[in-house]
Structure 1
Amino acid sequence: MRKGFRPSLAQRIIIAFFLMSLTVAGTFAVGTVLTVHFLEERLLSTELGGDLDQLLLMDSMDDWRHQPRPDQYFHFDGGPGPFAVPDDVVRLPQGFHELFRGDQAFHAMVREVDGRRYALLQDQSDFRRRETLMYAVVFTGLVLSLVLAALLGWLLARKVLAPVMRLARQVRHRDQLLALAPPLAPDYAPDEVGELAAAFDQTLTQLRQALKREQLFTSDVSHELRTPLMVLASSAELLLENPALDPRARKQVLRIARASTDMRDLVQTFIQLARVETGQRALSPQADLAEVAGELVEHWREPIESKGLRFDYHADAMPPGLYNAPFLRAVLGNLLRNAWHYSDSGRICLTLTAVGFVVEDSGAGIPESFREAVFEPFVRGERERGDGLGLGLSLVQRICAHEGWDIRLLPVAPHGCRFEVRLI
């Protein structure tokens, strides 16, 4: 659905000035026109009525011939020649009227005395031209006032919004988040913009504190979790060396070893991603796609095939270049883990392409209405499965968004999922 017009604050100020000027100047222009028309009718009707009364008081037709002004024409019923009542005057009732004969304009006063109709016409062509000129002046004044109002609105909008735009530029500056910029409120007057700057300073202080806590948490996780994870991994290795370990126990120890390895990689990935997102420079190892894919295929082939699934790996093509190895390993590893976890039969296929890679499985699949939600944190595809917290695909989405990679989830017939990751 197309969104309606949403004017900016500057546009609203200009529109307000324009509408106010249109209301005031338009009211003045209409009032001027109506007043002129009303006065014209009153004055001219009084003048013509007085002239007609004087003519009616005269005794002879000779006086009538000489008395009217050059721009006036006197007519009466039964009058000879020029005194005859014209056809367009015969139908007029008594009173004041306006007549138009081509380009000529006349004002007429009609009277009936003792059953006889008298009419006095006055040529108003010159007056009409002056009146038209006055209307043009009024209209031109209205247009100029609207243009001036729009110009004043634009200038005022620039003046009023200048501190707001300055504040916006300061807010967008990256130094604000890095705690390198001084507070903004002292640079502004104690008005509405100053209050906005003070509110931003307060909110930014809270955000910086939250980022600081996250950085401290990242450091604590990096320091505190590595040791117990290494203890778990080494203990699992020692247990696997025990020949007296029965197959069921050995399977559980292998699961513990694999989980500790995955945990170590996941913690390392989260730490690196948090450092990158907070602006810290991190020197990450680089690797091509084939190298990372080869490591993960070797790691996942045994658990996938031990579950009764067929694992196909096709590396006929590969995108050029090197990529952030921990991030690439986390994305591909999580997609393979999800495929292994949610597939009970069939196959899992990893295919390297010229632009990225594809992970396809024959698992239960994900409904179309649920495909966008699976990339949110703590959302799992099948809730009845107890393993997992629903962080894998969320981490994949965050990494892809940060690295500029594109990930798409497509269905597979008759069931299953297909994740396409485009690296270039």
Structure 2
Amino acid sequence: MPHGLPRKIRIAFILQVVMASLAIVVAFYVVAILFKYSFIQKTLQDEAQHYWQLHQASPVQPPPNTYNLRGYLVETGYSSLSLPAGLRELEPGFHDLEEDGQLVWVDRQQAGTLYLVFLRSQATRAALWFAVLPAMLALFAIYGATWFTYRSSQRLVSPVAWLARLVGRWDPRRPDVAELAPERLPADVQGEARQLAQALHALGERVQAHVSRERNFTRHASHELRTPLTVIRMASDVILSDDSLAPRVARGVQRIQRAGRDMEAVVDAFLILAREPDVAPQSEWFQVCEVVEQEVDNARLLLGDKPVKVEVDCQRQPMLFAPPRVLHVVLGNLLRNACHYTDRGQVRVVVDAAEVTISDSGIGMSQETLDNAFEPFYRGAPERPQGTGLGLSIVRRLCERFGWQVDLMSTPDRGTTARIHFGSGVGPAPGADVPA
């Protein structure tokens, strides 16, 4: 977890230490400058004032001469040749003689001119002891407090980080929730972290139970739904084998057969959608045009007496590797929609090398209806009794499951065009070597 909570806390403390260090370094520099040019200047000025007071009481009072301070007095009317060369041309005030390493205060009175010299090295040493050293001690104190706080914070967030790493290693399809069982949690996982682990453990168990129920339901539903459909198909075959059957009855039984096959295709499609995405369904190579012809025959029965003509144009003869009943469901839903919403004109199905296009001259769809057409239970024309609003939603889910692309284009009162693009699942035409 490259951007986990421990790393963020570590970065925050590092930034805190860096900012504190920069602030104290700047403070070092400012304090040193102030000490050198403010404190020393004020000290020399006070020394000069004190000397003149002593000089007024006793004119023979010699200038200051200590370890840190040198004093020179040039009485009024006397030559300044007795001064060091660097001091002779200085005007009254404070001077920083960098070349000579001296800080000089020149104070001129009626009795004469006083020169007080403070060595720069002494000023630097004083600044170190009285300003920089305390600041360094403060910096080390900040470092120590920051390190102690960081270690304490690290101990506090370590259980949460451990929990995040554990959950991050889970396989989403088969999470090992037993690792979060209360008896398997480390002793240092306490408080809110333990509550979170227990909540995840309970949630994981519920999800596993739900998945197990869904898997069992899918297995049982597959068996229970296929059994009556098989009985219907076999019974209709037996009825149709009677040569004395009336034509009207025979047509009705044939419709029952087709409805049974459609129901089997829908059951297969729903079971495919209910499976895990990594569970590959049983697929085979089949002719796309054959499926189109079968679904078009079923669609013609839906038209009844409508003045609508259904045409098929197989410009190519592609083969597709997929469950055939899935394509039956996809084409069946699209053709039923085209027939339901077309009152006159035609429905045309074109099969190309890698796609099937279904165009109609029906009522069409507005842009709002087109944007929501694939939403479950959405119906663009609720005044029409056909449909539940699930057909196009199922079509999209099935196409996404097999890597197909389905698109809708429509203009109100001019019709709708649905296109299914199969992509890489299309195989060679009949007569060529079909992949195994």
TM-score by length of 1: 0.69
Residue 47 of structure 1 and its aligned partner are, at CA, apart by: 5.0
1:188 to 185, 190, 212: 185
Q: Which region of structure 1 is more displaced relative to structure 2, 395-404 or 181-190?
A: 181-190
**Aligned CA distance change for structure 1 residues 39 and 268 (closer, same or farther; 3 Å):** same
Q: Would you say the 8 A contact 1:74–1:121 is kept in 2?
A: no
| Aligned equivalents of 1:84, 1:76: Cα separation in 2 | 13
| Aligned equivalents of 2:248, 2:295: Cα separation in 1 | 30
| Aligned equivalents of 1:305, 1:31: Cα separation in 2 | 94
| Aligned equivalents of 1:197, 1:385: Cα separation in 2 | 52
Q: Secondary structure at the match of 2:310?
A: strand
The count of residues paired between Structure 1 and Structure 2 equals 394
Q: Which amino acid aligns with 2:327?
A: L
Residue 52 of structure 1 and its aligned partner are, at CA, apart by: 6.5
Q: Which amino acid aligns with 2:210?
A: A
**Aligned CA distance change for structure 1 residues 131 and 70 (closer, same or farther; 3 Å):** closer
Q: Would you say the 8 A contact 2:76–2:111 is kept in 1?
A: no
| Aligned equivalents of 1:396, 1:166: Cα separation in 2 | 39
Q: Secondary structure at the match of 2:170?
A: helix
Q: Secondary structure at the match of 1:196?
A: helix
Q: Which amino acid aligns with 1:332?
A: L
1:18-417 residue pairs with structure 2 within 5 A? Answer: 18-22=14-18, 24-26=20-22, 28-37=24-33, 39-40=35-36, 41-42=38-39, 45-47=42-44, 49-50=46-47, 53-54=50-51, 57=54, 86=90, 89=92, 99=95, 107=103, 109=105, 111=107, 113=109, 120=116, 122=118, 124=120, 163-172=162-171, 174-176=173-175, 182-185=178-181, 186-189=183-186, 190-191=189-190, 192-229=192-229, 241-242=245-246, 259-277=259-277, 282-304=281-303, 307-317=306-316, 321-412=320-411, 415-417=414-416
Residue 334 of structure 1 and its aligned partner are, at CA, apart by: 1.7
Residues 16-35 of structure 1, C-alpha deviations (whole Å, 9 max, x = no match): 21343245435544554455
Q: Would you say the 8 A contact 1:377–1:391 is kept in 2?
A: yes
Q: Which amino acid aligns with 1:201?
A: H
Q: Which region of structure 1 is more displaced relative to structure 2, 250-259 or 369-378?
A: 250-259
Q: Secondary structure at the match of 1:389?
A: coil
**Aligned CA distance change for structure 1 residues 238 and 39 (closer, same or farther; 3 Å):** same
Residues 275-310 of structure 1, C-alpha deviations (whole Å, 9 max, x = no match): 355x66653444243343333234334545853223
Q: Which region of structure 1 is more displaced relative to structure 2, 196-205 or 61-70?
A: 61-70
Residues 151-170 of structure 1, C-alpha deviations (whole Å, 9 max, x = no match): x89x9699667624531344
Residue 15 of structure 1: aligned partner: 11
| Aligned equivalents of 2:96, 2:346: Cα separation in 1 | 96
Residue 403 of structure 1 and its aligned partner are, at CA, apart by: 1.7
Q: Secondary structure at the match of 1:351?
A: strand
Residue 270 of structure 1 and its aligned partner are, at CA, apart by: 0.8
Residue 3 of structure 1: aligned partner: none
| Aligned equivalents of 1:209, 1:342: Cα separation in 2 | 43
Q: Which region of structure 1 is more displaced relative to structure 2, 382-391 or 159-168?
A: 159-168
Residues 350-402 of structure 1, C-alpha deviations (whole Å, 9 max, x = no match): 22233332223333333333434322322223222222222212212222222
State the identity %.
26
Q: Would you say the 8 A contact 2:265–2:326 is kept in 1?
A: no
| Aligned equivalents of 1:283, 1:244: Cα separation in 2 | 37
| Aligned equivalents of 2:331, 2:296: Cα separation in 1 | 10
Q: Secondary structure at the match of 1:419?
A: strand
Q: Secondary structure at the match of 2:380?
A: coil
Residue 45 of structure 1 and its aligned partner are, at CA, apart by: 3.0
| Aligned equivalents of 2:372, 2:274: Cα separation in 1 | 22
Residues 62-117 of structure 1, C-alpha deviations (whole Å, 9 max, x = no match): 97799998987878998855776746x56xxxxxx5x5678888645465656988
**Aligned CA distance change for structure 1 residues 183 and 67 (closer, same or farther; 3 Å):** closer
**Aligned CA distance change for structure 1 residues 308 and 121 (closer, same or farther; 3 Å):** farther
Q: Which amino acid aligns with 2:388?
A: L
Q: Which amino acid aligns with 1:398?
A: R
C-alpha RMSD of the superposition: 5.0
Q: Which region of structure 1 is more displaced relative to structure 2, 314-323 or 327-336?
A: 314-323
Unmatched 5+ stretches in structure 1: 1-6, 91-96
Unmatched 5+ stretches in structure 2: 424-436
Q: Secondary structure at the match of 1:171?
A: coil
Residue 200 of structure 1 and its aligned partner are, at CA, apart by: 2.5
TM-score by length of 2: 0.68
| Aligned equivalents of 1:76, 1:360: Cα separation in 2 | 118
**Aligned CA distance change for structure 1 residues 418 and 106 (closer, same or farther; 3 Å):** farther
Q: Would you say the 8 A contact 2:311–2:348 is kept in 1?
A: yes
